Amino acid sequence: MHMADALLSPAVGATFAAGSLAAIAYASKKLKSTIDDKTIPLMGVLGAFIFAAQMINFTIPGTGSSGHLGGGMILAILLGPYAGFLVLASVLTVQAFFFADGGLLALGCNIWNLGVYPCFLAFPLLYKPLLGNSTSHKKILIASLISAIVGLQLGAFSVVLQTLLSGRTDLPFNTFLMLMQPIHLVIGIVEGFITAGVISYVRNVRPELLEQVMQTRPLDAKISIKKILIAFFVLSLVTGGALSWFASTHPDGLEWSLAKVTGKEELSGQHGEISGGLKKIQDTSALFPDYTFKSNSETKESGDASWPGIEPGTSVAGIIGALLVLGFVFLAGISIKAIRKKQSQS
C-alpha cells in the first residue's frame, strides 16, 4: 500500500509529512524513558525483518491482486508503540530513498497510513484490551486479527481520502473506496494470521519480553534476547536474499484498485517543480529501483518478469536493504539514548 507521488498534490503530501514528522518527534520523546541496550538491537533486527518481509507479496486467489505485510502491528506488539512506529518509519524511508518503493512526496502519507494507525490506535485501543492479561495462542490470534484488520482498513481509507483531497478526479471517491476496502480486508486477514504466528513464536521463546512491552516497562537486564536477535536476523537475510524470489507478480491491493478504476496500475504525475525535483532526487538515490539492479528495473516494471524471479539483483537488494534498515534504526536508537543521557547530565 505504498503510495506513489502521482496520487498526491504537494499540499496534501506536505501536510501529512508534517503530521508524520510530529508523530516521529512525539515517539522519540516518549521512547527516551524506556530505551536501553537491549531495545536498540531488537529494534534493528525487527526492522530488517519487516523490510525483507514486505518484499514478499502473496497472491489473493480469484482477484488477480496481491498483498504484503505492513508490519506495524508486529513492531508495536514486540517493541511497544513508540519504538515500533520509529522502526516502521525507518523502513519506509529506506524503501523510498534507496529502492524507489513509494514516492518521496508520498513518504509522509505512507508513514502515516502504515504506522500511525496500527501503532497508536489499533495496538493500544484494540490489541491490548483484547489480549488483556492472557497470552494464550487463541487470544493472541483473535487480538492480532482484529487489530491488523482495523489498522489496515484505516490505512486504506486514508489513501482514498488523500487522493480525494489531492483533487484526483480520475479516482471517484465512492468507486475507489469500494475497491480499496474489500481487497485490504483480505490482506488484513492474512496479516493478522502472520502477526499471530510471529507473536506466538516470541511468546514460546521469551514470554517475558511480551509481558514487559505490554506493561510499558524497559526490558529487564536479566532477560536474554540473544536467541530472538539471531533468529530474526537470519530470517531477514534468508527472506530478503532468497524467499523474495517467490513474491507474487500480481499488482498489490492499491495498484489493483487503481487499475480497476482507471485501467492503469500507475497514474501520470501531477507535474510541478516540487514533484519533479523530488523525482530527480529519488532517481539519484535509488541504488536498487524496484528491488533489483538498475539495469533490470525496466524489465520488472514492464511486467515481463517471470515467476519465481530468481535473479541476483533481488537477492542483493534484499540483503543490503535489510542491513541498511538495521544500521539506520541502530543509529536512531543510539542517538535517542545519547540525547537522554545528555539531558539527564544537564
Per residue in 126-140, pLDDT (tens digit) is 999 999 888 889 999
One of 1.10.760.10, 1.10.287.110, 1.10.1760.20, 3.30.43.10 is the CATH number of 5-264+279-345, namely: 1.10.1760.20
pLDDT value at 91 more than 90: yes
Which residues, at least 6 apart from 35, have a Cβ–Cβ distance to it below 8 Å? 83, 218, 333, 336, 337, 340
- Which has more pLDDT, 277 or 1? 277
In angstroms, rounded to a whole number, what is the distance separating the alpha carbons of residues 56 and 219? 31
By CB atoms closer than 10 A (0-12, 13-18, 19+), residue 12 is: buried
CB contact at 8 A, 111 and 19: no
What is the CA 171 to chain-centroid distance, rounded?
24
Angle CA(151)–CA(153)–CA(155) in degrees, nearest 5?
A: 70
The closest of 74, 81, 106 to 92, measured between CA atoms, is 106
pLDDT value at 273 more than 70: yes
Q: What is the pLDDT of residues 217-260, one digit of tens each?
A: 767 767 788 999 999 999 999 999 999 999 999 999 999 999 99
SS3 252: strand
Give me the residues paired with residue 60 across strands.
65
Per-residue buried b or exposed e for 287-301, using 16+ beta carbons within 10 Å of the residue's own CB: bbbbbbbeebbebbe
Helix and strand tally (H, E) in the chain?
14, 2
In angstroms, rounded to a whole number, what is the distance separating the alpha carbons of residues 127 and 171? 33
Q: What is the pLDDT of residues 41-69, one digit of tens each?
A: 999 999 999 999 999 999 999 999 999 99
Annotated domain spans of the chain: 5-264+279-345
What is the distance in angstroms between the CA of the first residue and the CA of the last residue of the chain?
A: 44
Q: What pLDDT, on a 0 to 100 scale, did the predictor assign at position 294? A: 83
C-alpha cell belonging to residue 272: 510541478
| pTM tops 0.75 | yes
Q: How far is CA 242 from CA 65, 138, 180, 315, in A?
A: 22, 32, 30, 6
**Which amino acid type is present at position 143?**
A
Q: Is residue 68 left, alpha or beta, with left meaning phi > 0 and alpha meaning psi from -120 to 50?
A: beta
CB contact at 8 A, 140 and 42: no
Residue 169 neighbours by CB distance under 10 Å? 9
The closest of 28, 21, 78 to 49, measured between CA atoms, is 78
pLDDT band, very low/low/confident/very high, at 107 (cuts 50, 70, 90): very high
CB contact at 8 A, 104 and 282: yes
Q: Work out the average pLDDT over 306-319.
A: 86
